[in-house]
Structure 1
Amino acid sequence: MEGREEDVRLGANRFSERQPIGTAAQSQDEGKDYTEPPPAPFFELRELCSWSFYRAGIAEFMATFLFLYITILTVMGVVKENTKCRTVGIQGIAWAFGGMIFALVYCTAGISGGHINPAVTFGLFLARKLSFARAVFYMAMQCLGAICGAGVVKGFMGKTRYGLLGGGANAVNPGYTKGAGLGAEIVGTFVLVYTVFSATDAKRSARDSHVPILAPLPIGFAVFLVHLATIPVTGTGINPARSLGAAIIFNKDKGWDDHWIFWVGPFIGALLAALYHQVVIRAIPFKSK
């Protein structure tokens, strides 16, 4: 253990913080204690002929299916009671979303990367962590899994009861403007995607050997905290597949009136998080040649 701590300390100290802005994260190629993964190709035809490509998509489908099933069913259990004291309440909903992300990222990270969210996939695509074909395939499978997960909940609850309880569909709550809802979705998704980048960063993994093992924990915790903050505002989307699946199965005006917010907000948040991590934190565009 002492040897491991010494290795980590020496590895961390190889990188001086006293460097010009925009070069600290990438300028010391010699003596690196980590390997920077090469950028993913924009499109690779051979990928479409690989079983691993489709296996990853199936994993994303199943993970998103289970995610919607557990979380929407939890929401239904809270909404159906007259008083939140008889249920797990808002905190319980937040734990259901965060806990499921923790578990599912842990289960699927080695197969597909454990995105379970089109916004996360979009952010990682912008950072060239995966190809365009894989990104589109992941998003399609995530949305399909979300629809099936919400559909199973509706089958359990019954059409009438499911409709009366709101179907877990996202909407801007009374007392908040659409601008406030959009802002909440942007900031919430930024927190999530920024956490994903930080928890899976190759450089940080080299300095802290336990980071790859614990990566699902901060990601799930970020989802939990964002839900605590934004459930009163929008019900918390930060995941277009989750919002789409619930809206399609619920299929009423309430689920569609503000639906654009739950796509535009998360994608803007993911874009900002990708730019912040790549440009500011890692200084990728300023890398010394």
Structure 2
Amino acid sequence: MAKDYQDPPPVPLIDGVEIRKWSFYRALIAEFMATLLFLYVTVLTVIGYKAETHGMGKKNVDSCGGVGILGIAWAFGGMIFVLVYCTAGISGGHINPAVTFGLFLGRKVSLVRAVMYMVAQCLGAISGVGLVKAFQKAHFQKHGGGANGVSDGYTIGTGLVAEIVGTFVLVYTVFSATDPKRNARDSHVPVLAPLPIGFAVFMVHLATIPITGTGINPARSLGSAVILNDQKAWNNHWIFWVGPFLGAAIAAFYHQFILRAGAVKALGSFRSNSHV
């Protein structure tokens, strides 16, 4: 039987045509705004939780009175679900340099688009956290601006591994949710794609908030570090870039070359061409 799907061809490494299209700049605006909104809501949630449990000067704080770690995880996962749903048809709904990097390695986006997306995401994150500071300056400074860092009792190596594995889960989910083979076989999957991506973010946050506060998104970590501009926020900041990028690269390799047998397909294509 003929295949019921067709893999799209790899995107050119450098695509000079797309930068002359309005759709490209519309996608950049979408990534900027989505990351701004993502950081605004999530960092506000983190700071609000810390203010409620640590900053009110109460001796006996009702542990059920705030959102808690579970609520923070829901804030991150829920916002990703909402924003991916809103922007998927415009920019692909990356909202994360690590996701963009993984899709670039999988030849889903060009180098120009990948770089510009990352710039837009980082600027959006800085702007989003800047809005939080503008509205909640006292709480923002007092409670660490939602900045990521390796928690006491954990080593740098543990934090790095947590970021690698957490980002692997996220980017692997992105590849799986947007797989053209699955989309063709299960027509309802494209509609549901934002749900598993948001849920992956939620689950990873549950596991890694106690370790690093959960980065898995370099723009998210950069936004808080830049606006807080505190030495503690910059300590070991490299973990929140190296970890997510390594995790994304491993996920891209695993999905494209192990699960989808990209290397075997490429070799088969090469052999067939050599006999023409």
- Secondary structure of the corresponding residue to residue 144 of structure 2: coil
- Secondary structure of the corresponding residue to residue 125 of structure 1: helix
2:162 partner amino acid: A
The C-alpha deviation readout for 1:95-143, integer Å capped at 9, x for no partner, is: 0000000000000000000000000000000000010000000000000
- Count of residues in correspondence between the two structures: 259
The C-alpha deviation readout for 1:201-258, integer Å capped at 9, x for no partner, is: 0001111110101000000000000000000000000000000001001110111002
Residue in structure 2 matching 1:108, options 87, 95, 98: 87
Residue in structure 2 matching 1:278, options 256, 262, 270: 256
The C-alpha deviation readout for 1:38-97, integer Å capped at 9, x for no partner, is: 100000112111111110000000000000000000001101123443210000000000
Partner of 1:10: none
- Secondary structure of the corresponding residue to residue 12 of structure 2: coil
Residue in structure 2 matching 1:64, options 35, 54, 69: 35
The C-alpha deviation readout for 1:244-280, integer Å capped at 9, x for no partner, is: 0010011101110021000000000000000000111
2:159 paired with 1:181? yes
1:267 partner amino acid: F
Residue in structure 2 matching 1:167, options 145, 150, 154: 145
Give me the whole-angstrom Cα distance separating, in 2, the residues matched to 1:108 and 1:38: 23
Partner of 1:24: none
Residue in structure 2 matching 1:237, options 187, 196, 215: 215
Give me the whole-angstrom Cα distance separating, in 2, the residues matched to 1:161 and 1:258: 24
Give me the whole-angstrom Cα distance separating, in 2, the residues matched to 1:192 and 1:201: 14
- Secondary structure of the corresponding residue to residue 5 of structure 2: coil
Give me the whole-angstrom Cα distance separating, in 1, the residues matched to 2:200 and 2:236: 24
Q: Which range moves more in the overlay, 39-48 or 178-187? A: 39-48
2:185 partner amino acid: R
Report the TM-score, using the length of structure 2 for normalisation: 0.92
- Aligned counterparts, 1:1-289, within 5 A: 31-82=2-53, 83=61, 84-158=63-137, 160-287=138-265, 288-289=268-269
- Secondary structure of the corresponding residue to residue 86 of structure 1: coil
2:5 partner amino acid: Y
Question: 8 Å contact 2:36–2:128 — kept in the other structure?
Answer: yes
Give me the whole-angstrom Cα distance separating, in 2, the residues matched to 1:202 and 1:46: 24
- Secondary structure of the corresponding residue to residue 246 of structure 1: helix
Question: 8 Å contact 2:221–2:240 — kept in the other structure?
Answer: yes
Give me the whole-angstrom Cα distance separating, in 1, the residues matched to 2:190 and 2:52: 40
1:278 partner amino acid: Q
Give me the whole-angstrom Cα distance separating, in 1, the residues matched to 2:6 and 2:84: 23
2:177 partner amino acid: A
Shift, 1:194, TM fit:
0.1
Question: 8 Å contact 2:47–2:139 — kept in the other structure?
Answer: no
Give me the whole-angstrom Cα distance separating, in 2, the residues matched to 1:161 and 1:239: 23
Report the TM-score, using the length of structure 1 for normalisation: 0.88
1:161 partner amino acid: H
Give me the whole-angstrom Cα distance separating, in 2, the residues matched to 1:37 and 1:206: 12
Give me the whole-angstrom Cα distance separating, in 1, the residues matched to 2:31 and 2:6: 27
Give me the whole-angstrom Cα distance separating, in 2, the residues matched to 1:195 and 1:267: 15
Q: Please identify runs of 4+ aligned residues in structure 1 that moved more than 4 A.
A: none
- Secondary structure of the corresponding residue to residue 17 of structure 2: helix
CA RMSD of aligned residues (A): 0.8
